[in-house]
């Protein structure tokens, strides 16, 4: 699908960033989630956790000479430490995640099911996968925001009734941010909260592989 | 009281003295994440020894053709236990794995860290919500505690741990530098023999006891590797 109104990766990251609130501890996954750090509203106090033991991860250093191989993100990109940041070892880093300290995790996704099941670590039939910290982070975070394109390259929906991809974590996703829409995962089912500018509700419904609850007021994603 | 005459000598004056004890069939914990905290000098020293049947535990399955990847390329490695197996730079491993010549166990990263910690702490395992219902929990017992289900995970103990520290003192007390800490402290606890490469050696008492991260009781042997830029040690197999 080549709809010119589909959001870019940066626009999706920007929309997720607006969701993160003052005082939150947040883990960002690899891919679109990594971009979120660039769109945090000025002055908002969010602490970023990186699975390799960084609490208070800051943006990429401004000067090349300040890049430090001992200070990299989970995606292996150069980062900084904010004032008041801390380093912990891997077991403590995952105690932060599994122990329920993360207010939110932003993770890439292959599929999300109506019960909140997340698939993002291995392709069907693959003999290998890259689980990294995804299973631990998704199981522990208070909220899991999934970022993904609304459909796959073949146009198949990635928001589905039940996963056909290998499960990462059961019943964890709370909200989905795609290039078409913002969809909440609720006990009643998927709720369409916002659509991208120029994308119709009908387009989103057609591109979704499960029933969407359509509230009276559906917002437009601010871009 | 302190008696430096009788103090155990943990210092290896040469790389060979640090590594000669590693034998075929060993399970080896290799610390590091990305470029940070990788014991590159120890890994380079392990190459070219003709070791066989090793099991390596690392976050990844090797990068490019150095360190873990070179050990794999040299045919030293029978099995890799890791969290992230299919990075583009892990081509040495993925080619061999596709050919069925090397075994792989994928472990969620938090579970890997905790399995190491459990081994170091003398525990028989632990219960985690991670992986419940997934392929990675297949065959593992599930227990319900206070109405919530958990996967039973076993400790992961090894014969050797290869550790990179910032500072070491003669008792083997260690500090680490920034995110180079990562797996190092839990791996140092989880091996029968923990071998450290340190950037610098400092005299007894020079490390503030409040800032020791790994106490020397977990360290069997250390080698002074000196400062180097991470990612620059190691030559590909010829």
CATH number at residue A76: 3.40.1080.10
Measured N-to-C along each axis, helices B109-120 and A90-98 cross at an angle, to the nearest 10 degrees, of: 120
A3 belongs to a structural domain: no
High-pLDDT (> 70) share of chain B, %: 97
As for the ipTM of the complex, it is 0.96
DSSP E strands: which ranges in A59-131? Answer: 80-87, 104-108, 111-113, 118-119
Which of these is catalytic: A19, A42, A51, A64?
A51
**A-interface mutation test, from B93, B109, B214, most A Cβ less than 10 A away:** B109
B34 with A69: Cβ contact below 8 A? yes
Where exactly are the structural domains of chain B?
23-106+157-224
A141 to chain B, minimum CA–CA distance in Å? 12
B184 with A127: Cβ contact below 8 A? no
Give the span between the Cα atoms of A158 and A150, in whole angstroms: 6
Dihedral pair phi/psi, residue B88, rounded to 5°: -60, -30
Q: What is the pLDDT of residue B1?
A: 47
A13 belongs to a structural domain: yes
**pLDDT for B165-199, tens place per residue?**
999 999 999 999 999 999 999 999 999 999 999 99
Report field, pTM of the whole predicted structure over 0.90: yes
Dihedral pair phi/psi, residue B21, rounded to 5°: -75, -10
Q: Residues of A with CB below 8 A from B84's CB? A: 130-132
Count structural domains, chain A: 1
Nearest to A166 among B98, B135, B184 (CB): B135
- B235 pLDDT higher than 80: no
Question: What's the first-to-final CA gap in chain A, in angstroms?
Answer: 21
Of the two residues B236 and B153, the one the predictor is more confident about is B153
What DSSP character marks residue A78? B
A87 belongs to a structural domain: yes
A10 is catalytic: no
A93 touches chain B (CB under 8 A): yes
B229 with A132: Cβ contact below 8 A? no
Q: For each of chain A's 223 residues, which pLDDT tens digit applies?
A: 578 999 999 999 999 999 999 999 999 999 899 999 989 999 999 999 999 999 999 999 999 999 999 999 998 899 999 999 999 999 999 999 999 999 999 999 999 999 999 999 999 999 999 999 999 999 999 999 999 999 999 999 999 999 999 999 999 999 999 999 999 999 999 999 999 999 999 999 999 999 999 999 999 999 8
Q: Round the CA-based radius of gyration of chain B to a whole number and report it.
A: 18
A2 belongs to a structural domain: no
Task: Look up the domain containing A202 and give its range.
Answer: 9-220
DSSP per position, B170-201: TT--EE--GGG-TTHHHHHHSEEEEEEEEEEE
> Which CATH fold topology does B23-106+157-224 show?
Glutaconate Coenzyme A-transferase (3.40.1080)
Tokens 């904010």, located at residue: A82
A132 touches chain B (CB under 8 A): yes
As given in the structure block, the two tokens for residue A199 are 């994308």
- Cβ proximity of B174 and B44 under 8 Å: no
Cβ-based contacts under 8 A for chains A and B: 140
- The torsion defined by the Cα of B227, B232, B237 and B238, in degrees rounded to 10, comes to -110
């Amino acid at each position: 699908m080549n709809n010119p109104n589909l959001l870019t990766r940066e626009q999706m990251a920007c929309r997720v960033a607006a969701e993160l609130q003052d005082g939150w501890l947040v883990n960002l996954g690899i891919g679109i989630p990594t971009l979120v750090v660039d769109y945090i509203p000025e002055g908002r106090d969010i602490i970023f956790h990186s699975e390799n033991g960084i609490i208070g991860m800051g943006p990429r250093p401004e000067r090349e000479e300040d890049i430090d191989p001992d200070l990299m993100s989970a995606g292996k990109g150069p980062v900084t430490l904010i004032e008041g940041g801390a380093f912990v070892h891997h077991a403590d880093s995952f105690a932060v995640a599994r122990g329920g300290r993360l207010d939110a995790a932003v993770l890439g996704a292959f599929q999300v099911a109506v019960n909140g099941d997340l698939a993002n670590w291995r392709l069907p039939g693959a003999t290998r996968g890259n689980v990294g910290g995804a299973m631990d982070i998704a199981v522990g975070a208070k909220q899991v925001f999934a970022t993904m394109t609304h459909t796959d390259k073949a146009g198949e929906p990635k928001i589905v009734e039940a996963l056909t991809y290998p499960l990462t974590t059961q019943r964890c996703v709370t909200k989905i941010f795609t290039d078409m829409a913002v969809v909440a995962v609720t006990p009643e089912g998927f709720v369409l909260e916002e659509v991208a500018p120029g994308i119709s509700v009908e387009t989103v419904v057609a591109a979704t592989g499960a029933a969407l609850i359509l509230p009276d007021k559906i917002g437009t994603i601010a871009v | 009281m302190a008696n430096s005459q009788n103090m155990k000598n943990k210092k290896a004056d040469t790389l060979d003295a640090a590594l000669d004890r590693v034998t075929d069939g060993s399970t080896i914990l290799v610390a590091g994440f990305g470029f940070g905290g990788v014991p590159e000098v120890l890994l380079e020293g392990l190459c070219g020894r003709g070791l066989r049947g090793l099991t390596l535990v690392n976050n990844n399955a090797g990068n490019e053709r150095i360190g873990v990847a070179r050990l794999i390329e040299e045919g030293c490695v029978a099995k890799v236990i890791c969290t992230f197996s299919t990075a583009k730079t892990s081509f040495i491993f993925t080619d061999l794995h596709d050919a069925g010549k090397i075994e792989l166990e994928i472990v969620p990263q938090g579970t890997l860290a905790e399995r190491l910690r459990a081994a170091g702490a003398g525990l028989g395992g632990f219960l985690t919500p991670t992986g419940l219902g997934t392929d990675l929990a297949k065959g593992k017992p599930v227990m319900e505690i206070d109405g919530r289900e958990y996967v039973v995970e076993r400790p992961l103990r090894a014969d050797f741990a290869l550790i990179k520290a910032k500072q070491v003192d003669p008792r083997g007390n260690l500090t680490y530098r920034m995110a180079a800490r990562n797996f190092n402290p839990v791996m140092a606890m989880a091996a029968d023999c923990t071998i450290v490469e340190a950037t610098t050696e400092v005299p007894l008492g020079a490390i503030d006891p409040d800032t020791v991260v790994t106490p020397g009781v977990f360290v069997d042997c250390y080698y002074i590797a000196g400062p180097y830029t991470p990612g620059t040690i190691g030559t590909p197999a010829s």
